Amino acid sequence: MNDYRKPIINLTHITDDMLVDAPEIEEVLTEFKEWVGDAIFVAHNASFDMGFIDTGYERLGFGPSTNGVIDTLELSRTINTEYGKHGLNFLAKKYGCRINATSPCHL
């Protein structure tokens, strides 16, 4: 395995074996666009996620997403000015929430 892949696997817990039968990104993004409709995206560090979504959408000829976006990272920086950190795990602990950001997501 290439060394550059190890940190990604450690972060996401996604292995090559898990991707063997995965659908192509074009199929996934098309289904995602239909499913999400005009809903508002809510994400922590949303610009990161939206970069991938917009790049994929543009590659498929959809143009950039027109959905509204609420970025909980920016929201925390605005509301929690006394915190030196605004990471998702830190905020979950502060607010008493349980999260598992690396659990499998399914459409």
Place of tokens 């920086």: 77
Tell me if residue 104 falls in helix, strand or coil. coil
In this structure, what are the phi and psi dihedrals at residue 88, rounded to the nearest 5 degrees?
A: -60, -45
Q: Which domain does 75 fall in, by range? A: 24-95
In this prediction, residue 79 carries a pLDDT of 97
For residues 92 and 102, give the distance between their C-alpha atoms in angstroms, rounded to a whole number: 14
Q: Is residue 11 part of a domain?
A: no
* 69 within some domain: yes
Which DSSP category does 82 fall into? T
Threshold 0.85, pTM exceeds? no
Residue 54 lies in a domain: yes
- List the end-to-end C-alpha distance of the chain, in Å, as a whole number: 29
pLDDT tens digits, residue range 39-70? 999 999 999 999 999 999 999 999 999 999 99
Q: Would you say residue 7 lies in a domain?
A: no
Identify the CA nearest to 105 among candidates 10, 28, 46. 28
55 — phi, psi (to 5°)?
Answer: -60, -45
Structural domain count, the chain: 1
Domain holding 85: CATH number?
Answer: 3.30.420.10
Q: Is residue 107 part of a domain?
A: no
Does residue 51 lie within any of the structural domains?
yes
